Amino acid sequence: MKKKRIHHHQVIVKTNPRRFKIDQLPLLILILPIIAFMLLPLLYIFNQAFKPFDELIQYPPRFFVTRPTFDNFIELFRTYSSTSIPISRYLFNSIIITVVVVFLSIFLSSITGFALSKMRFHIKNVIFEVNTIALMFVGTAVSIPRYVIIDAFGLIDTFWVNIIPLLVIPVGLFLIKQFIDDIPDELIEAARIDGANDFQIYLRIVLPLIKPAIATVAILAFQTAWNNIETSSIYVNSEQLKTFAYYMSTLSTSSNTVAGKGMAAAATLIMFLPNLIIFIFLQSRVMNTMAHSGIK
C-alpha cells in the first residue's frame, strides 16, 4: 500500500511539475496563443470602459485605449433615469438582492440536500425526482406558470419578487446531494450517538465537507441574481425596486445609442467585474465539483 502511494505521488510530480522544464515548451507554444485569444474579450471590456468619447466613436475603432479616463464612470453615476432615480439606487438594489439570494440559496440547497441524502421520510424520493425533472426545463418554458404563481402570492411589484423566485436552483441541489451521499453514514450515526441533533450535524459535519459544491451554488446564485433583467422587466413596475442590470439594458436604447456609449461601457465593466472576481476566488472548488460529479 505504501509503495502505491509513493508511485502515485511521483506521477503527480512528473505530470504537474512546479518548475519550468524544457519538455514543457511545445505545450506552452500551443496553449499560450489560445490563452491570449481568450483574454481578448476581457481586455476589450476594460479598454472600452476607460475610453474617452472621441475614442469610442472613432472609425476605424481601436482595440486599446490611448487616453484612459474615468469620465464614463463619473457620468454614469451623475446621470438619473427618466424617472429621476439615481444610478446608485439601482446598484444598491442589485447588491442587496444578490447577497440575500446567494446566502439563502446556499442555505436552502445545502439543508435540503442533507435532508434528501441522510434523513428518512416518505416522499423524499418524489421530491428528488421532481428536482431532477426541473433540470429539463429552461426559464422561458415556465414563464407563464411562474407569473401566475408569483401573482397568486401577491409578490408583483414588491422587493421580494427580486429574491424569492431566484432561490430555487435545481442543479445546485442535485450537486450538493451528490456530495452529501459520499459522506459515510457511520460518521452521521457517530455524531448522533455523541448527542448532536440534525442541525448540529448539518452545521458542523456536513457543511465543511461540501465546500466545493457550496462554491458552485454560490457562483450560480450570484450570476442568476446579479445579471437578472427579467424580474425588473416583467414583475416590477416601481423604478425604485428595479436592478442595475435592468438599468444597464436601458442604456443601449435607440434614443441614446451614441450619447450613452461611454456610460454603457462603464456599466458593462461594473456588471462584469463581480462575476470575474467571484470566479477567480472560487474556480478551484468549482473544478473539484465538476470532477467529483464526473467520477460519480
Per-residue model confidence (pLDDT) at position 150: 92
Question: Would you list the domain boundaries of the chain?
Answer: 2-49, 76-295
Per-residue model confidence (pLDDT) at position 256: 52
Per-residue model confidence (pLDDT) at position 3: 43
Per-residue model confidence (pLDDT) at position 113: 92
User: Which residue, among 90, 91, 48, 93, has the nearest Cα to 72 in the 3D structure?
Assistant: 48
Residue indicated by cell numbers 439606487: 89
Nearest 5 degrees, angle CA 194-CA 196-CA 202? 135
Per-residue model confidence (pLDDT) at position 285: 64
Per-residue model confidence (pLDDT) at position 211: 87
C-alpha distances out from residue 18 to 23, 70, 278, 280, Å: 13, 40, 26, 20
Per-residue model confidence (pLDDT) at position 106: 94
Classify domain 76-295 at the CATH class level.
Answer: mainly alpha
* Residue spans of the chain under pLDDT 70: 1-20, 80-83, 252-259, 284-296
Using CA atoms, how far apart are residues 204 and 194, in angstroms rounded to an integer?
A: 13
Per-residue model confidence (pLDDT) at position 15: 46
